[in-house]
Structure 1
Amino acid sequence: MKIKVKITISFLLFICIVSLGFRSNAGFISDELFRNYDFSGTNSLYVKIDSGLKIHWITQVQDNGYFELSRRDKGVITKGFTESSRVHSVNLRTKLKQDLILKFGGENEGMHEVVLKKPETDLKTVYKNINSIYVVGDVHGRYPELINLLQKSKVIDKDLSWIAGEAHLVFLGDLFDRGAQVTKVLWFIYQLEDQAKAAGGKVHLVLGNHEIMTMTKDLRYLNTKEKNIAIGHKVTYDQMFHPQNSLLGLWLSGKPSVLKIDQFIFAHGGIVDLGTFTLNSFNEAVNYYMKDPMYLELTREFPDSTKYDVERWYRMRDFFYYENGPYWYRGYVLQDTLDVQLDAMLKKYKSKVHIVAHTTRKTITKKYDGKLLTTDLDDAATELLFIKRKKRSAETFKIDSNGLVSPLE
């Protein structure tokens, strides 16, 4: 009898826990899924693009959702409410043929605003005569640390607005994984690009191995909070960054994998030999491959020979996952005997200094008599590299999270 009572009580407790869940546009989802995390605003924004815009967001508390879509110069296109919930979505027939202003949120939570930019590919690879360059290594979803670092370095102000004038800011990949605010980091950089451009500056995003991993369904390092965003929206996490069907994914797939600014050549891991005569040819190949549906299947154990050309599948996988490729290579940082290899690469691509991330160090460092600069840190997003051009030479510094500027020794 006592056993029966215990079973009955346990069953009632289970019913009570389930009843604490909430009904959303995505169905019944336990409130436990969103406990202890901030999902408001761009923390959870997912914009799908195909025949129109499908906008998904999560409010911090159960709330009536509100959205408004407008043109910069012609006022509101559409606006409305979603039912009381925490997970919200709305399908709009509007296509993104021009920049649109999206306001979204909840009646009680308040509104958030982002500019949804007309998708375009930005594969320009070579820039010249740039006076100041800021370089940030792997961020890995550490939004507060990144914001603090950029503010202390006088790249953005307290309102997160660009104040670096005509300077260039380079993110050297690996925005994804490990940290809890990857999505918010991505939307921040997405918005900062336009502010920098308006001031005559430039924000660059160079793709890293974790961008490739996420889009090709390798989610081993995905943070629980980020995973819960996708669960709330009833999609897999990689779908939120699909290179053709999501706004952020399309934006990412149009970014370069290698970059050159004056005498400096950038890659996430490191360049041995790209197999192309020009950097631009490599970036074009990346963009071309990312448009192929086979790209999304590269982390399968074996190719599906009924769907894809097997030889092409292996060739594409090697292109993105080769250990000596620019997303993965660690040799220059881990070894001190690769002068000949580094010199040959710099000569081929007409550069003097290689700047990389991917392989962590305690601090930003110089190697190979200053021909290699490393930017990935044990404590991510707590230092950045600052380069100041001086006539025909350049001075290099590191700036830490307290704003301390130190010459790079």
Structure 2
Amino acid sequence: MKKIILVSFLLFVLFLVVFFSLNAIRFSNGVLLGVKKGELYLFEYDIATINRDGPYVFNKGGKRYSLNVIADDHSVIPEVIRTPVEKYVNVVVDNAKQTEFSVSLRDQYSRAELNLPSPKKIFVISDLEGRFDQMVQLLIANGVIDQSLSWTFGTNHLVLNGDMVDRGTNVLPMLWLIYKLESEAKLSGGFVSYILGNHERYLMLGATKSVAKKYFATMRATSLSQSELWSNSTELGRWLRTKPIAIKIGDNLFMHGGLSPEVIAMNPTLHSLDAEAEKNFLQGNSVQLQIDNSILHADTGVLFYRGLVREPKAEVSHVDTVLKHFSAKRIVIGHTLVDTISSDYGGKVLRTSSRRNNDSYTEALMIEGNKVWKINTLVQKTAL
């Protein structure tokens, strides 16, 4: 009897090894089950529907092509359209208007600039998580872009302070618009800075815990995992991996979560933080899973730290230490939700992740020299 139990157990272990070493099993209705490229495929794939998604632009051997997923009739397995790409891509947004715009592609992606002089105006948004229409409404209302989605902010500066991806249903269009505005701003003498947050980390890692269900349909249709859709072989994947986790504009220090006492004790610089981001996000198709004591990924890391907002909050002395260390006057953070965009620590910490952001009303932060304003889609300015 013991031999039978042992043999049965060994056969079961062998089955698990074989099953999880194979690509995910695809059933006739398109559902995927199993593990592929280290990602667990769930039954949610079966219930996901989609109108459209894309374009995902891949660059293989110097040749580009795009994948668009379209299923206007909510069919079980959507159509995947593969198109050769040269200099630009057309983007059609999954919204009521089916907004369209074109994006010129670049041949090279350099590391982002980390220390910039202060312009007349700095417009800051964060944590919109794939909600394209909200971002566009806010930017148009405040003169950052026009109705054609073109840059109109002159020599001023737009900062995306992390978590522009994940939960929403228009992640691709949002990133393509930021990509486009980045080039247009530069031509006007302005600047767009995109700072990575924890949800950008999830995207590049391939963690699907927060994605809208439509992206399960994309993965099912393309037979590509999330990490493959955002790998170094994709244009947006390469571009995202050049982005920093902390920058300084004039006297303002920007990061998604904040600097904890544990991280400041490591004596970081903007360049050492950027080197850490480059090391973590550029190795293959995934982020290193070194969570404990990580400058990025730990609860005390730059992407996840909440001690500037949640109790037990950091001491004022810690905030002063950070500001002195980086020769800054303010720390601007997102990540942790607050009722409305606001300041704390006597104006030394500005918090941009607002619970009030919704389809009809969205908030942003405006910095004009020594003046700081909360501003919204109604173009109402409130001094902080």
TM range (shorter): 0.7 to 0.9
CA contact 1:124–1:280 (8 Å) conserved in 2: no
Aligned pair 1:173/2:162, yes or no? yes
Match of residue 195 from structure 1? 184
Aligned counterparts of 2:126 and 2:90: Cα–Cα separation in 1: 31
CA contact (8 A) 1:182 1:226 kept: no
- Quick one: which amino acid aligns to residue 89 of structure 2? L
1:358 corresponds to 2:348: no
Tell me, yes or no, if structure 1 residue 218 matches structure 2 residue 211. Answer: no
Task: Report the residue type matching 2:67 in the other structure.
Answer: H
Q: TM-score if structure 1 supplies the norm length?
A: 0.73
Opposite residue 251 of structure 1, the aligned amino acid is W
TM-score (normalised: structure 2): 0.77
Q: How far did 1:228 drift?
A: 2.0
Alpha-carbon distance in structure 2 between the residues aligned to 1:356 and 1:314:
21
Q: Is the 8 A contact 2:121 2:368 kept in 1?
A: yes
Counterpart of 1:399, as a letter, is: I
Counterparts of 1:88-107 in structure 2, within 5 Å, are 88-90=81-83, 100-103=87-90
Are the structure 2 counterparts of residues 245 and 337 from structure 1 closer, same or farther at C-alpha, using a change threshold of 3 Å? closer
Q: Contact 1:183 / 1:226 at 8 angstroms: preserved in 2?
A: no
The answer on whether the counterparts of 1:356 and 1:375 sit within 8 Å (CA) in structure 2 is yes
Q: Which has the larger radius of gyration?
A: 1
The root-mean-square deviation of aligned C-alpha atoms, in Å, is 2.7
Alpha-carbon separation, structure 2, partners of 1:104 and 1:322:
36
**Kept in 2: contact 1:364–1:383 (CA 8 A):** yes
Among 302, 307, 319, the residue aligned to 1:326: 302
Partner residue of 1:252? Answer: 240
Structure 1 residues 290, 297: closer, same or farther in 2, change over 3 A? closer
Distance apart, 1:44 and its partner CA? 1.4
Q: Is the 8 A contact 2:129 2:164 kept in 1?
A: yes
Q: Does 1:238 align with 2:227?
A: yes
Q: 1:148 to 1:119 in 2, by over 3 A?
A: same
* 1:127 and 2:121 correspond: no
Correspondences of 1:311-322 after superposition (within 5 Å): 318-322=294-298
How big is each residue's C-alpha offset from its partner over 1:37-90, in whole Å with a ceiling of 9 and x where there is no partner? 541xxx41101123122311134659xxxxxxxxxxxxxxxxxxxxxx832114
The separation in 2 between residues aligned to 1:139 and 1:240, in whole angstroms, is: 21
AA partner of residue 256 (structure 1): P
Q: Secondary structure at the residue paired with 1:147? A: helix
Pick aligned residue for 1:388 from 368, 372, 377 = 368
Question: How do residues 302-317 of structure 1 correspond to structure 2 at under 5 angstroms?
Answer: none
Q: Structure 2 counterpart of 1:87, which letter?
A: V
Query: C-alpha offsets along residues 357-392 of structure 1, whole Å, 9 cap, x if unaligned?
Result: 000011101100000000001144710000112xxx
Deviation at 1:104, TM superposition (A): 8.0
1: CA distance between counterparts of 2:133 and 2:123?
A: 18
- CA gap of 1:33–1:185, structure 2 versus 1, over 3 A, is farther
Deviation at 1:159, TM superposition (A): 1.1
Q: Find the residue that maps to 2:259 and give its secondary structure.
A: coil
User: How far apart, in 1, do the equivalents of 2:336 and 2:160 lie?
Assistant: 15
Which aligned pairs between 1:122-161 and structure 2 lie closer than 5 A? 122-161=111-150
**1-side partners of 2:299 and 2:157: how far apart?**
29
Q: Secondary structure of the equivalent of 1:397? A: strand
SS at 1:220's partner residue? coil
The alignment status of 1:46 with 2:56, answered yes or no, reads: yes
Q: Which AA in structure 2 matches 1:383?
A: E
Deviation at residue 230 of structure 1 after TM alignment: 2.9
Matched positions, count: 324
CA distance in 2, matches of 1:124, 1:223: 32
The separation in 1 between residues aligned to 2:255 and 2:106, in whole angstroms, is 26
Equivalent position amino acid for 1:48 in 2: F
Q: 1:110 to 1:338 in 2, by over 3 A?
A: closer
Distance 1:364 1:104, change over 3 A: closer
Identical pairs, percent: 27
- Identify the residue that residue 68 of structure 2 maps to in structure 1: 57
Name stretches of at least 5 consecutive residues in structure 2 with no aligned partner. 1-27, 30-45, 93-97
Q: CA deviation at 1:217?
A: 2.2
Given that 2:55 and 2:89 are in contact with CA atoms closer than 8 Å, whether structure 1 keeps it comes out as no
Residue equivalent to 1:368: 345
Hey, what's the Cα distance between the residues in 2 that align with 1:177 and 1:380? Answer: 16
| Alignment partners' CA distance in 1, 2:106 and 2:330 | 34
CA contact (8 A) 1:216 1:296 kept: yes
Residue in 1 aligned with 2:257?
269
Matched, 1:86 2:76: no
Q: Does 1:296 pair with 2:286?
A: yes
One-letter amino acid of the counterpart of residue 289, structure 1 = N
Change over 3 Å in CA distance of 1:182–1:379 after alignment to 2: farther
Question: Does the aligned pair in 2 maintain the 1:346–1:353 contact within 8 Å?
Answer: yes
- Residue 306 of structure 2 aligns with an amino acid whose one-letter code is R
| Alpha-carbon distance between aligned partners in 2 of 1:207 and 1:377, rounded to the nearest angstrom | 18
Question: Do the aligned partners of 1:104 and 1:111 also contact (CA within 8 Å) in 2?
Answer: yes
